[in-house]
């Protein structure tokens, strides 16, 4: 069916009055949007605010969304505009080119300068999530790990993965699902400790 | 589809998530990485979001690339400027201004030499750039290999490219000025490789009627200007020459392109007229240096993403005969 | 059912199944958690978690104060708040560089060289963009970059025309 069609179905549900469906879209795009906006917003403590504002503006504009473009393209446009408004309102400029020089960051973890977080709490949680996910990945049987890597990191379709791994699409589907379930189990305790309030 | 799978399979024979560069399929040196990257750009389906910055200017774009039976198709659309889409096919480039519903088609020369002479070009690069491997890095969540191109002279800029370990796609590209400070970069924030990109995805939103604006290329005219260009700045060679009818210009403009394999300098020669387009002397258009001078009734402009000294050298190396002239 | 959530996350599900599943997803809390967890895993693997945005609960709270959308196709929303008005854009964006509101434009922002260089157009009416576009087709780096290379000339053109 494709990501675009899934998004469109969710959007239609929001347009018919289901706010929870919008929450699902938030969960899908919040981090990708945050990554994009971080190139515009110099203060990492503000990235979350700008991202949140983007989603609210998108919700308000959603009645007028017509599927002429993909939802995420439309969302990103709103995000960039929101980030620019935010800069203008604070008499700021977008970060200049020099701030993204890969050589200023350390080796493998560099490239995209990992920003300092807004609170030690969120920093700790994010670090733990990443560590837990990575550890769980390492323990996965190779076929599960390959399948989920090709899907999540390389963004390949089930069909392409099936051709790559020389197995039926159904096997790919099942491997990805099982990989996710294993990792999700590892994540639950981490999330539960952090989120009396949240998760 | 087979072509895509063939090349993708080759690239991923080693575990795709092997973050080291020690596998059989990985290139051995910087030049090898550049070759891999050039191939990947043509041979893979991909779509992504990238941010282009120079100075404080930024522009965010979405790109789709599709390889199919009829060749390559590419879509570049702006996410934050005037709604604008560029479609590139193997025959032409089409520019769409969505607000004004204007379409301009620019044919690519049928003897577009770049793909054909590509391997020769790549190795020529080493004559004028030191190509070295940098550390591993990460962009858009994908591990990549930094390749550093350092010019051996002051006629061109340095560049740092970061090339995806698995796919070979260029994830990040920085141009550095003579003080080794980045003046512009291009970075992917999201990239999905492979998958089924439909033609309708490429041409989305471009149906209906468009006001057609003519391209400036005049394929029927031959060059008519008598001139010499010497000495040719080191490392550059001519790759194309054509005539163009530029808007608002009463006479056609001669357009020549020189390249060192990585960057290009364009030379425009036209009879000087009443409405000058370019400022005389040295100027800039974003990160492009421009140098314009007048000689014997002709306006000569050199421009390119090169240091000022280079465009000066190009423009000053041109010697012309006067319009009434007779010499060779 | 849970395996279907995994498929939905990947967009690898039939249209009919998706409709049904989404209905379930919106009311079943446990399924909703799966959706959230699977996306969290994907974002973590893609290193997106550098930018923590645990927003869905915050936003859902905020959305409770927002009007529920009804009959979307009949609503006519005013566009202006989505985009900076053209006039505002011009004030803010001059000759390809950002200008701090209230400050004066300085053309030499890009620091190509130590001198501040004037803009290449001979006068405000001169249009150099066709020359830049003609140039951009032949940049060899486009072999590696693909169409991204066009951004250099069209970005300048777009800026100048505003």
**Domains along the sequence of chain C with CATH:** 2-74 (1.10.10), 82-161 (no CATH)
Same domain, A96 and A154: no
Q: By the 8 A CB rule, do A38 and C51 touch?
A: yes
> What's the Cα-to-Cα distance from C140 to each of A113, A166, B13, rounded to whole Å?
30, 37, 29
- Residue A174 maps to a domain: yes
- Mean of the per-residue pLDDT values of chain B: 80
- Contacting residues of A for C66, CB less than 8 Å apart: 19, 56, 59-60
Please, what are the domains in chain B? 2-202 (2.50.20.10), 216-320 (3.30.200.100)
Range(s) of the domain holding residue A48: 3-102
- Residue A175 maps to a domain: yes
* CATH code, domain with A60: 1.10.1740.10
Same domain, A97 and A7: yes
| pLDDT confidence of residue C140 | 54
Query: Poorest-confidence range of A64-73, A104-113, B181-190, C133-142?
Result: A104-113
**Mean pLDDT value across residues C52-65:** 82
Across B88-97, B220-229, C31-40, C60-69, the highest mean pLDDT is recorded for C31-40
Query: What dihedral do alpha carbons B273, B276, B280, B284 form, nearest 10°?
Result: -140
- Residue A142 maps to a domain: yes
CA distance C14 to chain B (A): 16
Contact C51 A137 (CB under 8 A): no
What sign has the CA pseudo-torsion C33, C59, B58, B46?
positive
* CATH code, domain with A167: 1.10.10.10
Same domain, A30 and A74: yes
Same domain, A50 and A134: no
Query: Poorest-confidence range of A67-76, A162-171, B42-51, C64-73?
Result: C64-73
Same domain, A161 and A132: yes
Domain count, chain A: 2
Same domain, A11 and A95: yes
Contact B17 A159 (CB under 8 A): no
> What's the Cα-to-Cα distance from B80 to each of A25, A62, A86, B55, C4, rounded to whole Å?
21, 18, 15, 17, 36
The fraction of chain B above a pLDDT of 70, given in percent, is: 82
Task: Mark which residues 136-155 of A lie under 8 Å from C by CB.
Answer: 137, 148-149, 151-153
First to last CA, chain B: 54
Same domain, A90 and A128: no
More confident residue, B94 or C107: B94
Nearest of B295, B236, B237 to residue B270 by alpha carbon: B295
**Count of other CB atoms within 10 angstroms of residue B327:** 7
Question: In this complex, which chains have at least 3 CB pairs below 8 Å with chain C?
Answer: A, B
Q: Which residues contact A93 (CB under 8 A, 6 or more apart)?
A: A87, B56, C98, C100
Classify residue A38 by its DSSP letter: T
Q: Is the pLDDT assigned to residue B89 strictly greater than 70?
A: yes
**Mean pLDDT value across residues C145-152:** 55
**Count of other CB atoms within 10 angstroms of residue B117:** 12
**Mean pLDDT value across residues B64-90:** 84
Task: Mark which residues 144-163 of A lie under 8 Å from B by CB.
Answer: 145-146, 149-150, 153-157, 159-160, 163
More confident residue, A26 or A46: A26
Return phi, psi of residue A33, to 5°: -65, -40
Q: Is the pLDDT assigned to residue A167 strictly greater than 80?
A: yes
Q: By the 8 A CB rule, do B29 and A160 touch?
A: no
**Mean pLDDT value across residues B41-59:** 81
Nearest of B192, B189, B207, B168 to residue B65 by alpha carbon: B192
Q: Is the pLDDT assigned to residue A196 strictly greater than 60?
A: no
- Residue A19 maps to a domain: yes
Classify residue B238 by its DSSP letter: E
> What's the Cα-to-Cα distance from B5 to each of A152, B15, B44, B241, B242, rounded to whole Å?
18, 16, 9, 38, 38
**Count of other CB atoms within 10 angstroms of residue A182:** 18
- For residue range B195-243, what is the model confidence (pLDDT) as tens digits? 788 899 999 989 889 998 877 777 766 667 788 888 999 989 887 788 8
Partner residues linked to B133 by β-bridges: B147
3-state helix, strand, coil in chain C (%, to 5): 60, 5, 35
Show the tokens assigned to C108.
Answer: 């030499």
Q: Which residues contact B32 (CB under 8 A, 6 or more apart)?
A: none
- Residue A183 maps to a domain: yes
State whether residue B242 is helix, strand or coil: strand
- Residue A113 maps to a domain: no
Same domain, A125 and A94: no
CB contact B102 to C (< 8 Å): no
Contact B305 C134 (CB under 8 A): no
Query: Poorest-confidence range of B81-85, B204-208, C137-141?
Result: C137-141
Show the tokens assigned to A49.
Answer: 């605010």
- Mean of the per-residue pLDDT values of chain A: 82
State the Cα–Cα distance between residues B168 and B126, nearest whole angstrom: 20
Least CB-CB distance to B121: which of C119, C140, C145? Answer: C140
Across A145-149, A188-192, C103-107, the highest mean pLDDT is recorded for A145-149
State whether residue A187 is helix, strand or coil: helix
More confident residue, B291 or B141: B291
Residue A194: band (very low, low, confident or very high) from pLDDT cuts 50, 70, 90: low
- Residue A166 maps to a domain: yes
Same domain, A71 and A39: yes
Query: Poorest-confidence range of A105-109, B48-52, B279-283, B293-297?
Result: A105-109
- Residue A199 maps to a domain: no
| pLDDT confidence of residue C68 | 80
Asked whether the bond before C86 is cis by omega within 30 degrees of 0, the reply is: no
Least CB-CB distance to C45: which of A126, A152, A187? Answer: A152
Contact C140 B114 (CB under 8 A): yes
Least CB-CB distance to B285: which of C130, C156, C162? Answer: C156
Last residue of a domain, one of A102, A129, A148: A102
| pLDDT confidence of residue C145 | 55
CB contact B50 to C (< 8 Å): yes
Show the tokens assigned to A106.
Answer: 């350390």
Q: Which residues contact B89 (CB under 8 A, 6 or more apart)?
A: B71, B72, B73, B74
Rg (CA), chain B: 21
Q: Is the pLDDT assigned to residue B111 strictly greater than 80?
A: no
| pLDDT confidence of residue B189 | 86
| pLDDT confidence of residue C125 | 82
Nearest Cα residue in chain C from A87: C100
| pLDDT confidence of residue C35 | 94
| pLDDT confidence of residue A164 | 87
| pLDDT confidence of residue B323 | 53
Same domain, A88 and A156: no
Residue C132: band (very low, low, confident or very high) from pLDDT cuts 50, 70, 90: confident
Same domain, A135 and A63: no
């Amino acid at each position: 069916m494709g990501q675009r069609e899934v998004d469109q179905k969710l959007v239609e549900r929001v347009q018919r009055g289901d706010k929870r469906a919008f929450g699902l879209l938030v969960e899908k795009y919040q981090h990708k949007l945050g990554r994009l906006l971080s190139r515009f917003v110099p203060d990492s403590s503000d990235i979350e605010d700008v991202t949140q504002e983007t989603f609210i503006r998108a919700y308000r504009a959603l009645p007028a969304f017509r599927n002429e473009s993909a939802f995420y393209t439309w969302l990103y446009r709103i995000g960039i505009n929101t980030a620019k408004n935010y800069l203008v309102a604070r008499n700021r400029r977008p970060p200049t080119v020099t701030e993204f020089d890969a050589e200023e960051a350390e080796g493998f973890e560099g490239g995209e300068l990992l920003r300092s977080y807004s609170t030690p709490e969120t920093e700790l949680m994010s670090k733990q999530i990443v560590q837990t996910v990575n550890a769980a990945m390492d323990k996965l049987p190779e076929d599960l790990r390959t399948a989920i890597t090709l899907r999540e990191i390389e963004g390949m379709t089930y069909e392409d993965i099936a051709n790559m791994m020389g197995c039926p699409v159904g096997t790919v589907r099942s491997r990805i699902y099982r990989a996710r379930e294993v990792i999700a189990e590892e994540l639950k305790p981490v999330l539960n400790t952090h989120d009396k309030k949240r998760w | 589809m087979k072509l895509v799978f063939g090349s993708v399979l080759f690239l991923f024979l080693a575990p795709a998530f092997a973050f080291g560069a020690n596998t059989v399929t990985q290139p051995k040196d910087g030049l090898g990485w550049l070759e891999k990257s050039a191939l990947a750009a043509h041979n893979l389906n991909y779509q992504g979001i990238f941010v282009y910055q120079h100075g404080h200017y930024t522009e965010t774009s979405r790109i789709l690339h599709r390889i199919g039976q009829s060749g390559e198709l590419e879509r570049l659309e702006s996410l934050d400027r005037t709604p604008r889409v560029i479609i590139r096919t193997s025959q032409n480039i089409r520019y769409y201004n969505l607000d004004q519903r204007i379409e301009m088609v620019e044919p690519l020369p049928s003897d577009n030499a770049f793909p054909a002479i590509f391997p020769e070009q790549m190795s020529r690069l080493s004559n004028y750039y030191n190509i070295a491997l940098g550390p591993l890095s990460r962009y858009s969540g994908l591990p990549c290999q930094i390749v550093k191109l350092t010019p051996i002279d002051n006629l061109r800029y340095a560049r740092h490219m970061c090339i995806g370990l698995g796919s070979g796609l260029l994830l990040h590209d920085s141009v550095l000025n003579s003080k080794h400070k980045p003046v512009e970069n291009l970075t992917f924030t999201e990239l999905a490789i492979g998958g089924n990109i439909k033609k309708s995805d490429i041409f989305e939103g471009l149906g209906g009627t468009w006001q057609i604006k003519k391209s400036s290329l005049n394929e029927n005219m031959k060059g008519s200007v008598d001139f010499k260009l010497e000495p040719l700045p080191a490392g550059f060679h001519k790759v194309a020459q054509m005539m163009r009818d530029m808007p608002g210009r009463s006479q056609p403009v001669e357009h020549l392109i020189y390249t060192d394999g990585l960057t290009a300098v364009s030379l425009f020669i036209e009879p000087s007229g009443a409405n000058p387009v370019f400022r005389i002397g040295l100027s800039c258009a974003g990160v492009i240096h421009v140098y314009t001078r007048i000689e014997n009734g002709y306006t000569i402009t050199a421009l390119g993403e090169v240091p000022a000294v280079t465009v000066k050298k190009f423009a000053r190396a041109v010697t012309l005969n006067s319009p009434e002239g007779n010499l060779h | 059912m849970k395996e279907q959530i995994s498929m939905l996350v990947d967009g690898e599900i039939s249209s009919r199944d998706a409709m049904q599943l989404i209905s379930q997803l919106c009311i079943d809390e446990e399924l909703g958690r799966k959706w959230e967890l699977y996306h969290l895993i994907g974002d973590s693997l893609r290193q997106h978690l550098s930018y923590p945005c645990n927003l869905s609960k915050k936003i859902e709270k905020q959305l409770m104060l927002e009007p529920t959308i009804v009959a979307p196709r009949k609503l006519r929303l005013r566009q202006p708040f989505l985009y900076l008005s053209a006039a505002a854009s011009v004030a803010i964006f001059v000759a390809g560089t950002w200008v701090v509101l209230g400050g004066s434009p300085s053309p030499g922002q890009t620091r190509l060289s130590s001198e501040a260089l004037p803009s290449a157009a001979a006068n405000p009416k001169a249009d150099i963009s066709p020359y830049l576009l003609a140039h951009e087709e032949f940049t060899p780096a486009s072999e590696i970059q693909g169409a991204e290379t066009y951004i250099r000339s069209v970005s300048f053109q777009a800026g100048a025309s505003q």
